[in-house]
A and B are shown apart, each in its own frame.
Chain A
Amino acid sequence: MTVRARAVLGYGLLVGIGLAAPFLVYPVFAMNVLCLALFASAFNLLLGYAGLLSFGHAAFLGAAAYAAGYVTREWGLPTEAGLLAGVAVGAGLGLGFGALAIRRSGIYFAMITLGFAQLVYFLAIEIPWTGGEDGFQGIPRGKLLGVLNLDRPLVMYYFVYAIFLAAFWLIQRTIASPFGHVLRAIRENEPRALSLGYEVSRYKLTAFVLSAALSGLAGALRAFVNQFAALPDLYWHTSGNVVLMTLLGGMGTVTGPSVGALLVGVLENYLAGLGSWVTVITGTVFVLCVLSFRRGIVGEVRALVKRSF
């Protein structure tokens, strides 16, 4: 019950901040944070609940961005179809990577996912239509359901926000579902789960595909927000960044990754004037955080609340 109460509290806080955000900060900035928060939450489903550290999630985010851009700009499909294309590409890549990677665990799993992601990165450089270093530009935001003009910042913002909330709800629901319980059991003691008759690799693969599909959704959404897809989305930095956001906020907590994404987003945005020092500062913050509160921000707050009640 307390778990549920805390989830509701976290949810309430997020909803409040999210509704007010476009009046407090630049909508484009807020939308980018939401996309990263969704990305980190999807990643956390895998790391925090299935115990699998992927180092290739950039591939799902980036490839979905290109896919969403391609079907809308080149084929003239509506925005909704672009999002679906992103989800499908994320899920498809996830199925491919996952089927091969989940046979290994720990560092080998991470390395295989990294290898695949780099492969996608180099493919994107080679394929002509991606625009190479210039990126894939001029992605139309389109009209929602053919009526609501998404070029208007506030409309776009609330559209992104609604999708974020829906996806966040699905993730939270997955964590709490019977499936989520099995995932946690596998993370806690894999041989035992196997000896109870669970086909462990199928659960891991399902979690991997779910996480990849939702990362694809985040990538597609971001392509519409920024109206371009670019190579850095696919680069391993992005895979590292999502690990960082998740650990900062608190892996294995429902709201942690969003908090981590917000923190990283704020640091990168408001320190942008400092050039490459941003990386140094983010890195320092990360090291300090990991050293002083290992459970991440939300994880520490949760432990504090637990101790004092």
Chain B
Amino acid sequence: MVPDDLLLETRDLTKDFGGFLAVKHVDLRVRRGAIHALIGPNGAGKTTVFNLLTRFLSPTSGSIWFEGRDITRARPAQVARQGVVRSFQISAVFPSLTALENIRVALQRARGGTFRFWRSDRVLEGLDGRALSLLADVGLEDQRDVAAVELPYGQKRALELATTLALEPSLLLLDEPTQGMGHEDVGRVAELIRRAAAGRTVLMVEHNLPVVAGLCDTITVLQRGSILAEGSYAEVSRDPRVLEAYIGAQA
């Protein structure tokens, strides 16, 4: 059985893309309450692991356990409703909806009753208070009526994070939340993640090592689909294999 402090576990997780093993025998363990980083060079298989965990892809072999339950065969939407909510490497908003409406899409799901096509949308106005406070948390309260497509990149990512948090996930999966951001935005988003992590567990893919060092308590290094090393930042960053594989590949 899964020990109690483990929120998420993969056993021998493998993904074969027509002969190419993108993920090889990965045993990943994410402790409850951790901010856990998944790092590795480009093409290491990080996003593929996320796609497997959220059931956007089916593993070739191995299993996935969340809260002690086997979710290897669950549907993506089921996994999300159990509390595993992801963000995407490329920012994922609903472009022509306003910032407020973006958040409401998430709040509405938690509220239910979304198949009642004969209902007036006035029932949604009851969600506005909560939506606004989520927007305010990420500094977007003045953008509430701006279409997401018109927001600058950093704000799009902030909106995406706020939408994800609207679901109050117990496990937050963030795929490169600071990618493509300027220095200031990186600091802001890191701070947001730190605050969001209170009371929940975070697994994040991140290339920005100072962010990883500052935020994460456990780091798993992936290389060519396999786990190369695992431990605290201090441990991992001293590991010669990691230096060679990861830092070397970055330079």
Contact = CB atoms under 8 A, between A and B. Distances in A.
A198 B106 CA distance: 9
Contact of B75 (A184, A196, A199): A199
A93 B115 CA distance: 20
Contacts of B106: 196
Is the interface on chain B under 10, 10 to 19, 20 to 34, or 35 or more residues?
Answer: 35 or more
Given A179-B114, A210-B117, A195 B95 contact: no
Given A170-B118, A177-B117, A178-B108, A189 B86 contact: no
Contacts, number: 100
Nearest to B102: A185
A210 B116 CA distance: 12
A203 to B, nearest CB: 8
Interface in B81-105: 81, 85-86, 88, 92-97, 101, 104-105
A237 interface: no
A204 to B, nearest CB: 12
Interface stretch (B14-22, B62-70, B119-127, B240-248): B119-127
Interface in B151-170: 163, 167
A196 B97 contact: no
Nearest to B149: A188
B80 A196 contact: yes
A110 to B, nearest CB: 23
A192 interface: yes
A192 B95 CA distance: 11
B130 interface: no
Secondary structure call for the B interface: loop
A194 B94 contact: no
B117 A179 contact: yes
B76 interface: yes
A178 B118 contact: no
A117 to B, nearest CB: 24
Given A191-B88, A195-B76, A178 B113 contact: yes
A189 B94 contact: yes
A174 B93 contact: no
Contact of A174 (B78, B85, B117): B117
A284 B21 CA distance: 53
Interface core residue of A174, A181, A197, A198 (most chain B CB under 10 Å): A197
B213 to A, nearest CB: 28
Contacts of A185: 94, 97, 105
29 contacts: A173-B118, A176-B121, A177-B117, A177-B118, A177-B119, A177-B121, A178-B114, A178-B121, A179-B116, A179-B119, A180-B117, A181-B101, A181-B104, A181-B114, A181-B124, A182-B108, A182-B114, A188-B95, A188-B97, A189-B92, A192-B94, A194-B76, A194-B77, A195-B80, A196-B85, A198-B77, A198-B109, A198-B114, A199-B75
